[in-house]
Structures are given as structure tokens and as C-alpha cells.
Amino acid sequence: MRVNFKQGIVSHQAGGFLTISGSVVTLTAANRPVTLTLAHKNVNYAHSEDNTVNVAWFGPFTETNYWLYWDFNPLTFVRTFEHTILEPVAQSVPPGAGNAPITGAIPGAAGLGSFLVDEFYDLPLGKPFAIINSTLNNGNYTVSNVLYDSNTGISTINVNEPVASNIADGEATLDLDSNGNPLYVDGRHWFNTTTHVHSVLNGSIWTPVLRVFAAQLFNGTTFISMSQNSQFGDFTGTQIGNNNSVFSGRVLFDESSKPMRRDDGTFFTTEDQFFTNQSRVDALRLESNVTRAQSVEPSLSAFSVVAWTGDGQISSAAYEDVGRTVVGLLTENLSNLEVGAVIVQGTVTNPLWNWTQGATPTPVGSELWVEDGLLVTIDPHISDPVKYQQPRVPIARVLDKDTIIFEQGLGGVGPIGPQGAIAGLPPADTTNLGGVTLITSSSDPLRAFVISDTDPRLTNARSPLAHIHQASDISFLAGGGIISSDVQSALTELGNTKISSTGGIMTGALTIATSPVNALDAASKQYVDSLVSGLIWLEAVDGVNLISDVIIVEPSSPNLGDSYVLPNNVLPTASPPETWAGSTGEVLVWDGTIWQNLGQIEDMHVLGSIRIGIAMQTITVPSGSFLNRKNQIVTYDALGAIEGFEIPVNNNAIFVESDASLFAFNQYVFDGTVWIKFSGGSSQAITGDGLTIDVSSGT
């Protein structure tokens, strides 16, 4: 087989092929073999693990790092599974040769700088090393990638850290592995990239071996790729930095199961050419590119054509699969999920074939196509151009009666050939596929015709044209409480449920989720209740008239205890005018018969020039009448005219302090009925008709 690199894993099943459980590593090849190629001198050997190996590598794996590899016996080519705790290296310089002199430096920021060294070094990504004895670039670095120029023999080591200077001096400590250990130690693997010989240090001798690494096992749990594609998690690809295309063949064994060898000691492979009696008889390779795949069909027949539908999975091939995916010829009957051999190229013999004989013989060299998994002698595009509109190339040719040469595509598509019996197709219509004839004009609305790019019917072709469409015919995606399925019904539904901005009546409750903030915000009942909670409501005051916030109107039908403020120059009803002189602004109280001055009942201080008295009986004096004024306090002005009367209340007291009075220096207290002398010689009540207290001043 032809591969585009040397030394590494060629393919494996999707999702990984290595698993670990305890001290056991399993190699899985459930639906695809694990194929690898070994480079040894000028030969490349191919090997496949066609079946799962439950116990491939066995521990215990107690160290931090292990490198797992296949080991092939140099004498018998028998394969075993081994591992090492020493990091392998691939380079042209033997381990132990010392540090690598710096031959060039490219300054740059992190990830952009690099160092140049002679010889080939295939360094693992992230490998640490140091630059020493340099003028400006001393320090620790890690590898981002390595590029080798075979013309100059120089390796350019790109690093993840900044490179300060372009001065090419100093050395790179490349003679150490990633853990800082010397490369020249017993058991170290070294692949010489110049001679293509893989060796292991045994004491002081490098012993050649045939080995390929499977993976690095980190911390006993994680598998890390050894290929140059490791940064992508891909285990396939070269492990020595060599991407040259080579032929890798399987080792040939004789009838005693011994490998066949060349005179230089290398093994014969299926890629080698053979000679008999000094004459070259055939340059064909011995292998037919056989691979294995898993059926995803209920059943597949032997010698049917199959197509790859996924990684390691096949199904019956269709005509359209040619050129679109890989096709092959199945060599055995398969049921669902069974794995079998598939030939992707080469000669194939089937005793049941009878190509060149029979009622309709097929000449040798005739092309063969695939249709529904079968090999056919007529191109399906020619026989059924309606179903198979795109032509596909043939995939095989007849070699003899029961043998064909199978390839992916014989010669490519090439020039366009016959397009099929177009004239015999029925005309296409709105329901049937068929031929279409284009004309310059047509009166038939169902027939296609050609128009020019200046046709007026193309004007504004990209702009929507005005039209009327029934809203009930336009579908509507229901949502947000609307259940209608067309636009008209949805509009009606909205019209029946909306509330106008000018007002309306709601038949259900309206819930207001938040408290009002602005002056015109709506408020909920809960919010209003929270504001009035705890307030004491007062009954409204009836019959109140306020002028400048003062109650000044006399009730028309007063009840006992009613009151009001006497306004200026307005006398109360049923009261003598002279009674209210000087009482403006005071509170009047209805005692059941007449209005009494409530403000003048309180204790007061009377100036010395004013007289007061207590009316003891009903008499008439020039300045006014004492009618119904018994026991009331009388006040006079300086001229002796009566100013007003005050109704005494219980415990009202008067002290006579003027010696002009008959009752001077005595105190009198009203007990609710009569005035009683409370001080002086002896207490006595003021009784008797005609008895008054008349003082010129007092309290």
C-alpha cells in the first residue's frame, strides 16, 4: 500500500483504539484494523491488528510516563507488545553527542521566535530545553514545532517563548530528554533519521530493532499521540518527522511460516517485484488492497459493490456513490454489524461470474458500472437519464470469464459522452419528470420559453408587486394567548379582547404587579389599603360654615351644648344686644334657653379701673337688665355700663382685693349653685335678694 509518511500508525477505528483498566491496556479493532508502517533501511513493512487484543500491554504502570510500542522479532517478524519508561528520540545526531551549537537565531515575540541548529531533530511538542553560553538569548524554552530543510541540513526550532536577539551564539541542550535526563542512557530508543534504522542502547552499543510506538501513557490514565499530529489528538502520522510518500508492504512467508528475505537481510513484502530465470515476469504488486469494514445493512451479498458511509462502515453502493465516496467489492456474505473483507482495487475472481459467455456475452475489456450494489454492463445514465442525471465513471473492466479488474474510477470522467435518449423522453409537466423544449414565445402558460435580459417582464422583478390577498388565507403562528391559525381570525380575536387607550370596561380583575411611582400611575387595592391602615375616621361635621377657616354661623335650631364663634357686629338670636358688647370672636354655647359666652367664663384679670359684680337677683338697672342673670358675673366698663355676663362654673373663684368694696380681702368660690365665702373671718354663702358684690378691681 502507498502511504504518505514513514514510521507510524496509518489508521485505526474512530474514537480511539486504546483503553486501560487497572494494569491492562486493551487494543481495540472492532470495526477497523489498526494498521501501522515500520521503516527499516530502504524497506517499509506494513502490519495490521485485525482483531481486538484484550490484554495487549500489561503493567503495573506505577511511573508517571510509559511509552507503549509494538516489537517485531528481526528473525521471525513475530509481534509482541512492550513498553519503556524512557522517552524515545528521532534525530540524525546520536544521543550523547552533546549540546547542539546555535547556527542562527530569529528574534520574535512569544511563539514567533526560533533557533537554528545543524542536523535533523524531531522534537516532541512542548519539549523543554535551554539556551546556554549565549550573549542575549540564555534561558529556558519549549518547542512549538520543528522544520527540517533537507537541502541545507538545518533544523529550525520554533519556540513558545520570546527570542530577544539574532546573535547566533550559544548552545541548545538538546542532548537531554523532556525530563532533563541525558539521552545517552541504557535502554534509550533512537531512530536514526539519516539511515532509517531504529536502535536501542544496550550498554555502549546501539542495537537495531523493528518497533513502532502506539502511544505515551501519562499518569496511568491518559494516552498521548506520538505522531506529528499529536496537537490535534490524532494518533496517525509519522513519528520521525518524515512525510515522504512510500510503498509499505506486508511481509511474505513461505510454506513453513518463515519470512522470506532478500540478500541484504530485509524481508520480502507484497510491494516487491519478482523475477524468474533472470527475467522480470510481472510488475504487479501481490496485494489487492484488501481492508475490513462493518456492514450497516440488514444483509450484504458476497461480490456485491459496497460504499463507505462512515468510519469503517459500509452499505450497498448506489450509482451516485462513485466519485462521492470510496467503493469496494465485498468478498463474503455479511449480516448487520458483521465485519468482513473488502477489496478496493486489484483483480477479483468469482467462479460464479460468466462475463464472456452465455446468451449475451460481454467482451474482454468492457467497462462495468454499479447500480444498486450490482455490476452492470450498461451505464445507468444512458439507460435511465431521468433517474441518473449525472454521469459516473465505470469502476471495473472484464478481464476474462470470471475475473475483473476493480478500481475506484477507470480514467476519470473525461469528455462528455452521450447524454441519453433525450428524444424519447415524455414531455415534462407539473407532476411528471421529462423533457422540456425551450421556445422563444408561448401562449401555453404551462410551457417554458426563453426571454432576453431586456424583456420588459423582468422590470422590478426583485421588488414585491402590489396585490390583494385574503387575510383568512394567510397562516398565522398562534402564540401569546392567541389561538387563531390565520391572520383574519387573529385580528378578530385581538379586537374582541383589547382595551382602548380612551377607556373601556373590563369584565375580569386587573392585577397591578408593582406599586405606583409617578403621579398618574395606577394603584392596586393592596397599595391603598396599606396607606389607610391605622387611620381613625371622623364623622363629617354638619351645618358648618367656614369663613377664613372660622365657624361663624349661628345654628338655626341649636341643641343643648351647641356652640359657634360670635362674628363682628352680629348678635345671637333671642339675646339682648347689650349683653354681647365686647364679645366679638368669642365662643357662644347654647344652654337650652339662651346663648352663653363660653370664652368669658374662664378666669381673667380685670384692670383696676373696671368693676365686676355678681348678680344675686332679678333687678333692672339703667345700664341693662339682670333678667335670668342670677349668680352670673357682671363686668362694667369705666363709665359703669355693663359689658357682659359670664356664666360661673363649679370652682370658679373671685378674690376681692379693693378696699372700696364691702367684701374686700375675701375670696368667693362658686359651688355650682351659690357663691360661698371661702376666706376671711368665716365662710358663708352669698345669699339673699339684693345682695351683690361690687368691686372697683379684682380677680
Q: Tens digits of per-residue pLDDT, 184-234? A: 999 999 999 999 999 999 988 899 999 999 999 999 999 999 999 988 889
Residue 75 within a domain: yes
Residue 695 has pLDDT above 70, yes or no: no
Average pLDDT over residues 398-405: 91
Give the pLDDT confidence score for residue 441 in this predicted structure.
Answer: 66
Residue 164 has pLDDT above 70, yes or no: yes
Shared domain for 238 and 383, answered yes or no, is no
Q: Among 221, 248, 275, give the residue marking a domain's end.
A: 248
Residue 288 has pLDDT above 60, yes or no: no
Shared domain for 109 and 93, answered yes or no, is no
Q: Which candidate, 447, 458, 365, 377, places its Cα nearest to that of 403?
A: 365
Shared domain for 307 and 395, answered yes or no, is yes
Residue 154 within a domain: yes
Q: Exposed (0-12), middle (13-18) or buried (19+): which is 53, by Cβ within 10 Å? A: middle
Shared domain for 188 and 217, answered yes or no, is yes
Shared domain for 56 and 134, answered yes or no, is no
Give the pLDDT confidence score for residue 598 in this predicted structure.
Answer: 61
Residue 273 within a domain: no
Q: Exposed (0-12), middle (13-18) or buried (19+): which is 581, by Cβ within 10 Å? A: middle
Residue 94 within a domain: yes
Shared domain for 398 and 315, answered yes or no, is yes
Shared domain for 197 and 54, answered yes or no, is yes
The helix or strand, by DSSP H or E, that contains position 563, with its residue range, turns out to be strand 563-565
Q: Among 406, 425, 444, give the residue marking a domain's end.
A: 406
Q: How far is CA 9 from CA 26, 58, 583, in A?
A: 16, 21, 125
Mean per-residue pLDDT of the chain? 80
Shared domain for 39 and 51, answered yes or no, is yes
Between 675 and 21, whose confidence is greater? 21
Shared domain for 317 and 332, answered yes or no, is yes
| Total domain count, the chain | 3
CB-CB contact of 601 with 648 (8 Å): yes
Residue 221 within a domain: yes
Give the pLDDT confidence score for residue 639 in this predicted structure.
Answer: 64
| pLDDT confidence band for 637 (50 / 70 / 90) | low
Least confident of 56-60, 133-137, 336-340, 584-588: 584-588
Q: Among 127, 158, 174, give the residue marking a domain's end.
A: 174
Q: Using a CB cutoff of 8 Å and minimum separation of 24, what contacts does 204-210 make?
A: 206/94, 208/40, 208/74, 209/71, 209/74, 210/38, 210/40, 210/45, 210/71, 210/72, 210/73, 210/74, 210/77
Give the pLDDT confidence score for residue 543 in this predicted structure.
Answer: 45
147: CATH: 2.40.30
CB-CB contact of 188 with 88 (8 Å): yes
Model pTM? 0.45
Give the pLDDT confidence score for residue 396 in this predicted structure.
Answer: 94
Domain that holds residue 371: 290-406
Give the pLDDT confidence score for residue 603 in this predicted structure.
Answer: 41
Give the pLDDT confidence score for residue 1 in this predicted structure.
Answer: 80
Give the pLDDT confidence score for residue 272 in this predicted structure.
Answer: 81
Residue 459 within a domain: no
Dump pLDDT digits (tens) for 238-277: 999 999 999 999 999 887 788 888 877 788 898 886 655 4
Grid coordinates given for 28: 481495540
Grid coordinates given for 4: 504518505
Shared domain for 78 and 24, answered yes or no, is yes
Grid coordinates given for 677: 365665702
CB-CB contact of 64 with 222 (8 Å): no
Alpha-carbon distance of 692 to 653, in angstroms, equals 15
Shared domain for 202 and 72, answered yes or no, is yes
Shared domain for 180 and 79, answered yes or no, is yes
Residue 511 within a domain: no
Residue 203 within a domain: yes
Q: How far is CA 452 from CA 438, 444, 459, in A?
A: 13, 18, 12
Kind of pairing, strands 305-310 and 313-316? antiparallel
